[in-house]
Amino acid sequence: CREVALGHLCEFIEDCEFTKLSVRVLHFLGEEGPATARPTVYIRHIYNRVVLENAVVRAAAVSALAKFGAAPKADAALQRSVRVLLTRCLDDRDDEVRDRAAWGLRMTGAEQTRSRYVRDDSTFSLAVLERRLVEYCADPQAAKRSRFDFAGVPRISRAQEEETRHRVRLDAMDQVLTGSALSTSAAAAKDDVPQSAEEERSMDNKLLAAIPELAAFGEQPLVSSQRAVELTESETEYVVRCVKHVYERHVVFQFDVTNTIAEQVLEQVEVAMESDDIDGLLQPVVAVSIPVLRYDAPGTAYVAFERLTDDIPAASFACTLKFIVKECDPATGEPEEGDDGFDDDYSLEAVDLGPGDFIQPTYIPDSDALWESLEGGESIETFALSSFESIEECITKVCDLLNMCPLEGALSPRSKAAHKAAFTGKWMGRAKTVARTRMTYQKGAGVTMELTVRSEDPTVSELVVSAIA
């Protein structure tokens, strides 16, 4: 089906008189053509554009040719043919075409250069790059101290970049439809730049370090901070959500609590956590309570555990919210005079700690090459997941459990019957890890999934697989 569609596009550009359309089609041919069974079929149509078209289209055609020569599937004969065509383009009368031809020859001639500049589908997080450049330029002494460090700018996949753009477009449409965009200033919009995972971890680390009882943990690297998990329904008297922060030697549970009863003030609010699965693995060391929790004014409590061994704990914690209740005047929020209050507690949903919490979701460029290099540290397991009614539901849950960075197309199944997905991350922020899944779905039987994990640390592969079990 793909070959037929690409064939129609080749015929289309033969007679196309619109430069923009021709450029877009050539770009698409350069992206999809090299992965087909017979890529040489499309090279002839592309090179015709170099001979017959204007400079803009010729430049696009040269770039498309270079992609054919730099593709992973390109054999020696195909690379040689592409290089011959690119060499002819060096005599073009337009400098842009000549420059692209020279670039193409450079890319197709060296394997290391080809992998870095052509096959690597990562890009800088543009929002973070802009913010760092603005900060660098605003500091008069920055240029004197050192050059701008691109290593500090996180890289993301093209799929993540497109997802971010799509989310921004949807938010902009919602603002226009609701009328909120009319009252939003340009400065506020500029400040609402999405943060990268690295920046979020840095921000979480700073917030935790500002709490005296937890300040000592800031000396360790923060491995991961998980998404907030709701421990109560949103309509209940007390709304609680939990965020897990994993350090090198400690695990911190952050509980964000909101009191929704206007006639009550809560004091000495804390969360009691109990588990039978942590003996010899985790030991509670710090509990930070909320002194006073007024109506609709969120507060945060913390419970911290120390890891006693290098073994990874897998535990479920029973959580109970404990506090002193005092009646208050809803108008002032102050407790009634002479009211000593009474002790009370409120049961919460359990909080789970598993192997996925110790993985840092990180995009790793050229994951295919990394996968091949890690063949020795492999673990494979097959799961019968009968509770899922679709592949899309299953892959979303698997991504949450693994806590790894989904690669392009991982969360967007094209078929309801079968799907393949890949994820990358770093175990404890150090050992690079790649996971691949193959799924099939049958009505009535649910999803059958094969999970294969490879890591730089052979013992990690089995631990990551156990995140699903």
What gap in Å lies between CA 114 and CA 201, rounded to an integer? Answer: 33
Q: Select from 266, 264, 258, 265 the least CA-distant residue to 300.
A: 258
Determine if the pTM surpasses 0.85. no
CB 131 within 8 A of CB 139: no
- Max mean pLDDT range (37-41, 70-74, 270-274): 270-274
Q: 3-class SS at 200?
A: helix
Give me the pLDDT at residue 251, please: 92
pLDDT tens per residue, range 3-52 = 888 888 988 988 888 899 999 999 999 888 888 888 888 898 999 888 88
Amino acid at 367: S
CB 300 within 8 A of CB 290: yes
What's the chain's average pLDDT? 84
Which residue's structure tokens are 């289309």? Answer: 12
Q: How far is CA 103 from CA 23, 90, 127, 272, 414, in A?
A: 18, 10, 28, 62, 35
- First-to-last CA distance in the chain? 38
β-partners of residue 419 are 439
What gap in Å lies between CA 150 and CA 147, rounded to an integer? Answer: 9
Instruction: Enter the tokens of residue 244.
Output: 């897990």
Q: How far is CA 287 from CA 212, 224, 235, 237, 301, in A?
A: 12, 20, 27, 23, 8
Burial of 51 (0-12, 13-18, 19+ CB in 10 A): exposed
CB 326 within 8 A of CB 387: no
pLDDT tens per residue, range 369-407 = 888 888 777 899 999 999 999 999 999 999 989 988 888
